[in-house]
């Protein structure tokens, strides 16, 4: 009978204990009820360079108050984490993690730098860059905004505290840009030519995002529909509308954006209206 695969969350736990807490494979094995060799193999498969291979040790967090205040930087990364991050409790402590494909890995590295080395980032065989921390001061800063919830994709509400704080601080566009960078998309439909901005999530959050964008831009637009059971999708379509939203989202965004998605906004063509007047037939 084949051995059941080790849960992904347990592999994250192994990685955190090995890289952040500097525990040995044997110590981790005793804590998790696994053999030394199993832990060793799982760490290698996860792309962790073992200390015998001159692993670069990541420092513990020295900027634990990063999320305590609503700033341009914290708003953006709260947006990314609320839509694409992972929050779960392991052994009585919150684990905060973010994993992105290597093409978007610069965002993970920037977060790691802003937190002054909290957690670790590295490339796994799946070509993914990972940030993870068990720093409870970081978790407390995130909890302050009402979003530190396990299985948040299915349980998060409209994030009223988060949006209100971002508006008061004048950083709402950074928060929503982070949300779209985390779990949104920009696509171009060719026939007819129609740019589309979309983001998926639980209905209360999606409708709150729509309300905040519409209020900030003074528009009444966007449609919300069921994407899959329990999740809804907000979409905005059309060149003029997408360019208007993009201009607002990317103001003062240098160093805090996914260039891949921004390039799609930059590639949107404005609609050129014809001046020809149709002649009525006799």
Question: Which of 12-26, 58-72, 245-259, 260-274: highest mean pLDDT?
Answer: 245-259
- Is the model more confident about 174 or about 27? 174
| Residues 106-163: tens digit of each pLDDT | 898 889 888 876 445 555 566 778 888 888 899 999 999 999 998 887 788 889 999 9
101 domain-assigned: no
Do 175 and 162 touch, CB atoms closer than 8 A? Answer: yes
126 domain-assigned: no
- Is the model more confident about 51 or about 70? 70
Question: pLDDT confidence of 270, banded at 50, 70, 90?
Answer: confident
CA 63 to chain centre: 20
Host domain of residue 185: 174-266
Do 205 and 175 touch, CB atoms closer than 8 A? Answer: no
Looking at the structure of the chain, the number of domains it has is 2
36 domain-assigned: yes
- Is the model more confident about 24 or about 249? 249
Question: Residue 120: how many CA atoms within 13 Å on its side-chain side?
Answer: 22
- Is the model more confident about 4 or about 254? 254
d(CA 246, CA 7): 39
Beta-sheet pairing, 223-228 with 231-237: antiparallel
Give the pLDDT of residue 118: 46
161 domain-assigned: no
148 domain-assigned: no
Q: Give the CATH number, domain containing residue 255.
A: 3.10.28.10
List CB contacts of 113: < 8 A, sequence separation 6 or more: none
- Is the model more confident about 24 or about 270? 270
69 domain-assigned: no
The answer, yes or no, to whether residue 278 has pLDDT greater than 80, is no
231 domain-assigned: yes
Do 187 and 180 touch, CB atoms closer than 8 A? Answer: no
List CB contacts of 12: < 8 A, sequence separation 6 or more: 95, 97, 132
Task: Show the beta-strand stretches assigned E in the chain.
Answer: 86-90, 93-101, 128-133, 184-189, 194-201, 223-228, 231-237
194 domain-assigned: yes
- Compute how many other C-beta atoms are within 10 angstroms of the C-beta atom of residue 131: 26
Supply 171's token pair.
């950083």
Question: pLDDT confidence of 38, banded at 50, 70, 90?
Answer: confident
Do 245 and 213 touch, CB atoms closer than 8 A? Answer: yes
List CB contacts of 31: < 8 A, sequence separation 6 or more: 17, 23
What mean pLDDT value characterizes the chain? Answer: 85
The answer, yes or no, to whether residue 271 has pLDDT greater than 60, is yes
- Using DSSP's 3-state secondary structure scheme, residue 135 falls into coil
């Amino acid at each position: 009978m084949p051995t059941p695969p080790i849960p992904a969350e347990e592999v994250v736990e192994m990685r955190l204990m090995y890289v952040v807490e500097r525990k040995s494979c044997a110590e981790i094995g005793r804590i998790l009820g696994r053999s030394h060799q199993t832990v060793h193999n799982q760490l290698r498969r996860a792309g962790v360079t073992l200390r015998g291979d001159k692993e670069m040790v990541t420092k513990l967090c020295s900027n634990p108050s990063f999320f305590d205040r609503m700033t341009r930087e914290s708003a953006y990364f709260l947006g990314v984490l609320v839509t694409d991050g992972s929050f779960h409790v392991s052994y009585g402590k919150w684990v905060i993690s973010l994993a992105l494909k290597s093409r978007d890995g610069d965002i993970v590295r920037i977060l790691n730098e802003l937190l002054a080395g909290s957690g670790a980032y590295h490339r796994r065989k799946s070509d993914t860059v990972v940030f993870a921390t068990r720093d409870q001061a970081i978790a407390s800063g995130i909890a302050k905004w009402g979003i530190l919830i396990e299985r948040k994709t299915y349980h998060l509400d409209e994030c009223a505290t988060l949006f209100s704080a971002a508006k008061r601080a004048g950083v709402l566009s950074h928060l929503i840009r982070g949300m779209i960078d985390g779990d949104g998309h920009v696509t171009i439909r060719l026939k007819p030519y129609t740019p589309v901005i979309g983001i998926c999530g639980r209905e209360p959050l999606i409708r709150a995002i729509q309300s905040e964008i519409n209020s900030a831009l003074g528009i009444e637009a966007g449609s919300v529909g069921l994407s899959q059971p329990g999740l809804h999708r907000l979409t905005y379509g059309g060149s003029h509308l997408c360019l208007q939203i993009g201009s607002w989202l990317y103001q003062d965004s240098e160093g805090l954006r996914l260039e891949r998605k921004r390039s799609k906004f930059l590639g949107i063509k404005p609609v050129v209206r014809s001046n020809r007047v149709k002649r009525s037939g006799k």
